């Protein structure tokens, strides 16, 4: 099969590597030339990690993966290539207005036969499906990070997605060794509907001075068996993406628990994005041995603390 992937950031690279590993040709484009230029190197690194984790001893594994990846520097060339693809997968910022305007631009230029997948982690598929002009063949395929190592893919049909499209998506994902599961088209779907409020609560408790990064993550790791604590997960998701997801979920649900804590906004402003920028809740100077940071600069106290100081 042939895939067209729009957006080659953290999740785009995961999907590109996954598609290539599964033997599919992948055409890629990103509006940011620097990000696009670093895509092959990023996919090579990811493929090498996958080979190590899965104990794949094929010396040519990484080359076989990168051989399947075709980068396009020009939007027009990418659209031309996408015309001959089976699946168009968007992996751009979590912003409904942006996604809809980009889809309204790209998808009408493609033949009806090209199906549309979105890697959104929380947004309503219906406006995206309408914007792209193919509501019966539009669906969310929310992969987890890093895609080639995390089997789960949340499959979220819209109001008009056809049964044939759901089945095509399920079979295609199974063929890629993924574990698709159906989830509802509500803000955050299933996974983030449960996870995001918990992650935001953790940051709120941290900024109230109630918990540290180290104790918080140790507690979840040793008591609930989480493979990594909530703060480390934040660092992999990155602060800008968490902020976008929280704001979009707040806007669509009006649920105050989704409103992003001040610390998240401050971290984005300070460039403390997480693992990719070298600093988040952890110091990632040594990526193999991240160190929990002292986040006391972000503690704003509780309402009682603030009242006492007045």
Site string for ligand NAD, 124-163 (x = CB under 6 A): ------------------x--x------------------
Binding pattern to ligand NAD, positions 40-79, x when CB under 6 A? ----------------------------------------
Start-to-end Cα distance in the chain: 65
12 binds ligand NAD (CB under 6 A): yes
Task: Single out the segment in contact with ligand NAD by CB under 6 A; choices: 1-9, 179-187, 199-207, 296-304.
Answer: 1-9
* Residue 92 or 199 having the CB closest to ligand NAD: 92
Q: How far is the CB of 107 from ligand NAD (least distance, A)?
A: 13
Helix ranges restricted to H, 117-190: 125-132, 163-175
Coil, helix or strand at residue 186? coil
Interface segment toward ligand NAD; rule CB under 6 A; list 30-38, 127-135, 193-201, 295-303:
30-38
The least CB distance from residue 254 to ligand NAD, in Å, is 20
- Our finding on whether 11 is near ligand NAD (CB under 6 A) is yes
Q: Are 284 and 195 in contact (CB under 8 A)?
A: no
Determine if 94 is a binding residue for ligand NAD (CB under 6 A): yes
Give the strand pairing for 2-6 and 87-90: parallel
* 212: contact with ligand NAD by CB under 6 A: no
List of E strands, the chain: 2-6, 25-29, 69-71, 87-90, 115-118, 138-143, 152-157, 179-182, 282-283, 291-292
Span 236-255, contacts to ligand NAD by CB under 6 A: 237-238, 241, 245
- x/- binding map, residues 172-201, to ligand NAD, per CB under 6 A? ------------------------------
Spatial distance between the Cα atoms of 256 and 279, rounded to a whole number of angstroms: 28
**Do residues 251 and 258 lie in contact, with contact meaning Cβ atoms separated by under 8 Å?**
no
- Kind and range of the H or E run holding 50: helix 39-53
Q: H/E element holding 268?
A: helix 262-269
Contacts of 35 (CB under 8 A, 6+ apart): 8, 9
What's the Cα-to-Cα distance from 21 to each of 5, 66, 128, 189, 242, rounded to whole Å? Answer: 15, 9, 28, 27, 28
Q: Candidates 88-96, 205-213, 253-261, 292-300 — which segment interacts with ligand NAD by CB under 6 A?
A: 88-96
Q: Which of 20, 102, 211, 249 binds ligand NAD (CB under 6 A)?
A: 102
Q: How far is the CB of 310 from ligand NAD (least distance, A)?
A: 40
- Residues lying near ligand NAD in the complex (CB under 6 A) are found at 6-12, 30-32, 35, 91-94, 102, 119-121, 142, 145, 237-238, 241, 245
């Amino acid at each position: 099969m042939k895939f067209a992937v729009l957006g080659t950031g953290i999740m785009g690279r995961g999907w590109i590597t996954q598609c290539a590993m599964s033997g599919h040709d992948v055409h890629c484009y990103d509006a940011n030339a620097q990000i696009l230029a670093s895509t092959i190197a990023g996919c090579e690194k990811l493929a090498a990690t996958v080979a190590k984790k899965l104990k794949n001893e094929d010396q040519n594994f990484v080359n076989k993966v990168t051989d399947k990846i075709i980068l396009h520097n020009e939007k027009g060339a990418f659209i031309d290539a996408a015309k001959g693809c089976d699946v168009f997968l968007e992996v751009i910022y979590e912003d409904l207005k942006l996604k809809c305007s980009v889809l309204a631009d790209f998808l009408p230029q493609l033949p009806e036969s090209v199906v549309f997948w979105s890697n959104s982690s929380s947004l309503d598929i219906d406006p995206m499906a309408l914007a792209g002009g193919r509501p019966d063949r539009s669906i969310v395929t929310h992969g987890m990070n890093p895609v080639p190592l995390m089997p789960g893919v949340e499959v979220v049909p819209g109001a008009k997605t056809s049964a044939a499209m759901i089945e095509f998506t399920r079979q295609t994902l199974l063929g890629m060794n993924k574990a698709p599961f159906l989830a509802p088209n509500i803000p955050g779907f299933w996974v983030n509907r449960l996870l995001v409020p918990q992650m935001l609560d953790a940051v709120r408790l941290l900024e109230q001075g109630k918990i540290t990064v180290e104790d918080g993550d140790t507690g979840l790791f040793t008591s609930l068996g989480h493979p990594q604590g909530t703060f480390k997960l934040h660092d992999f998701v990155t602060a800008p993406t968490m902020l976008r997801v929280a704001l979009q979920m707040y806007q669509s649900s009006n649920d105050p628990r989704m409103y992003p804590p001040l610390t998240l906004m401050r971290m984005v402003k300070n460039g403390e994005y997480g693992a990719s920028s070298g600093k988040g809740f952890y110091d990632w100077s040594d990526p193999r041995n991240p160190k929990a940071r002292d986040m006391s600069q972000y503690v704003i106290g509780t309402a009682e603390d603030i009242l006492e100081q007045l």
